[in-house]
Amino acid sequence: MKRILIPASGAVLATGLLAAGLAGTAQAASDVASDPMAKNAAVAQSIAQYWAESNGAALRAATESNIWDSKDVAKLKSTGGYSADTKPGVVAPIGEEKKTATKSQNVNMPKTIGKVFFLNSKGERKWCSATSIQSRYRNLVSTAGHCVYDTAGNADTMSKWVFVPGYYQGKAPFGIYVGKQAFTHYDFDVYEDFDRDYAFVTVYNGIKIDASKASQVTKSEFEKHVGPKWVDEKTITRDEWVAGVEKYGVNGPFQSKAVDPKVETVAKPADAAQHIEDYILGKGPTAGVQLTGVEVVKSVYTNAGKGLDNGNQFERLSTKLPISAEEYAELNKAKADGKFLGELTVDLDNNKQPKAWYKQQFFIKKWIKTSEQFRYWVETYYVQDVKAADAGRLGDAVGGQGFAYNQPTGKYVRVFGYPAAAHPDGHKNFTGITPKWCYGKTTAKTVGSAAKKIEEHIALKCSMTEGADGGPWLLKYSNSKRLGYVNGVTSTFNDQDGNDRVDYISSPYFDGETNTVYKAAANVWSGKIVG
């Protein structure tokens, strides 16, 4: 094993304990870094709902973690290497604490594996592979450190982090498990040392989102609804749009938008007052002239004149409208960021509690001449009621793999994950939809990466690509019981023969310090999100 030490000068050095004569002096407390994720049940429920809404739309939109690129796919080297720091040890999988292993010739996917989903520092929806692992409270997930800590954004933990065992095409058959507390090695948390690229995350009890069938509603009902809602758009002809606006008015579901507008301001037509409704619809007697509104701040609107000329108040667009509490909160934030120009107000009941919320935007008139290169569409509004139910503890739902550390190389392991990325040459073998596996003996070859501070990885011949990172390396895997011992997690992807194809993957070596981090995480309770 190695330690990251800080000398008096402040420079960071990587030093082997045995070479320095420091064997056995590591302090367990300094090995463990821990960071909170979802701090309470209310936050956790909102995170679960974020991923579950609209039939798992956010889950389906996520793509594989992409912290690696083609220049990171390097050749393995035999320099460096791990050193065991204590005696080998194992922790039995859930359900196998007092049982003996049996042999099987079939290859069955473990029930414990799935994907972890999160938002990175750019706000992108991403995923990695992971597994449930044995713990005191049956609430622990094992994955790669870079699938928990945002190294690219130099931030702490990823946001909206969840584990979905058995994930498939937006479905969460066993529930969604929200991360509560993340544990990794101090050297990864602070120095991004990829020799410690592993993490253990405690999760709340799973939550199952029971969404009722979506209901079509009016625009006002849509705006008042608190919960999942969305708008479907359908492109229509100009004639259909005109008919719709005549039936429902300018604030109805029929909308228009310039695709490639050639717009210039013109003077008010002489017959504006007689044909104002036609000009609003772009159907006035003077062809190609239309009355539109330009949003302004309240002070500009207040100081504007009355009438139909350019720059006058556009009263019908500037009325006070009721909105939901949710929209009020969103617009209030947008207003603070300078993205909402209107005014927000609240009515209070007799107890001075909010009972109604309103918005008012302000528009002035603008007469334009346009080529009428417009797109027309009709909007249909849908809302959905959501109920959340407790799915129980992770380990009770899917079981949990055992844990092994300080094991010698040359042992057979079976590695699972959801590979999705293309090889460096652009060839794409995997989709990330279903889990894949590799099998073979581990090798002591390591990845010579100074940037990632890698000196002590172990490797396995395997062509899985990114998306599989975080997936478990299972020692003594029983195909019949679908259980084994986590002895590594996929960290890097490598090209040993130089043909721009991944042919080896690597994992941090699990040693006694890994066991210290694991034990710290395995004894922490998390609790329920819903009753």
User: What would the pLDDT profile of 330-374 be if each residue is shown by its tens digit?
Assistant: 888 888 877 889 999 999 988 888 899 999 999 999 998 876 567
**Is the pLDDT assigned to residue 75 strictly greater than 60?**
no
Residue-wise pLDDT for 19-30, tens only, equals 323 333 334 457
- Output the pLDDT for position 57: 85
- Output the pLDDT for position 125: 93
- Determine if residue 176 is left, alpha or beta; phi over 0 gives left, psi from -120 to 50 gives alpha, anything else beta: beta
The Cα 492–Cα 506 span in angstroms is 5
- Mean pLDDT value of segment 500-504: 90
- Output the pLDDT for position 244: 84
Tokens of 125: 């929806």
Q: What is the mean pLDDT of the chain?
A: 84
Lowest mean pLDDT segment, chosen from 80-84, 126-130, 307-311, 384-388: 80-84
Task: Give the position of tokens 């107000």.
Answer: 345
Kindly indicate the confidence band of residue 5, based on its pLDDT and cuts at 50, 70 and 90: very low
**Is the pLDDT assigned to residue 467 strictly greater than 50?**
yes
- Output the pLDDT for position 280: 87
Residue of 231 and 18 predicted with greater confidence: 231
Neighbouring-strand partners of residue 127:
64, 117
User: Which residue type sits at 73?
Assistant: V
Kindly indicate the confidence band of residue 229, based on its pLDDT and cuts at 50, 70 and 90: confident
Tokens of 495: 């090209």
The closest of 493, 499, 508, 507 to 74, measured between CA atoms, is 493
Tokens of 98: 């007092």
The closest of 529, 180, 242, 217 to 376, measured between CA atoms, is 242
Helix segments in 33-191, DSSP class H: 41-61, 186-191
**Is the pLDDT assigned to residue 108 strictly greater than 80?**
yes
Residue of 351 and 95 predicted with greater confidence: 351
The Cα 163–Cα 203 span in angstroms is 8
Task: Give the position of tokens 């909007």.
Answer: 379
- Output the pLDDT for position 529: 93
- Output the pLDDT for position 489: 98
- Mean pLDDT value of segment 455-468: 92
- Output the pLDDT for position 32: 92
Residue 422 C-alpha from the chain's centroid: 21
The Cα 194–Cα 458 span in angstroms is 12
Residue-wise pLDDT for 161-216, tens only, equals 999 999 998 889 999 999 999 999 999 988 888 999 999 999 999 999 876 677 88
**Is the pLDDT assigned to residue 60 strictly greater than 70?**
yes
The closest of 497, 404, 421 to 458, measured between CA atoms, is 404
- Output the pLDDT for position 106: 53
**H or E element at residue 485:** strand 483-489
Residue-wise pLDDT for 449-459, tens only, equals 555 778 889 99
For strand 125-133 and strand 264-265, is the pairing parallel, antiparallel, or unpaired? unpaired
Side-chain-facing half-sphere of 232: CA atoms under 13 Å: 11
Number of H helices, E strands in the chain: 11, 33
Tokens of 474: 């299972």
**Is the pLDDT assigned to residue 228 strictly greater than 80?**
no
**Is the pLDDT assigned to residue 112 strictly greater than 90?**
yes
Residue-wise pLDDT for 375-427, tens only, equals 788 888 888 777 889 999 999 999 999 999 999 999 999 999 999 999 988 89
The closest of 405, 316, 329 to 90, measured between CA atoms, is 405
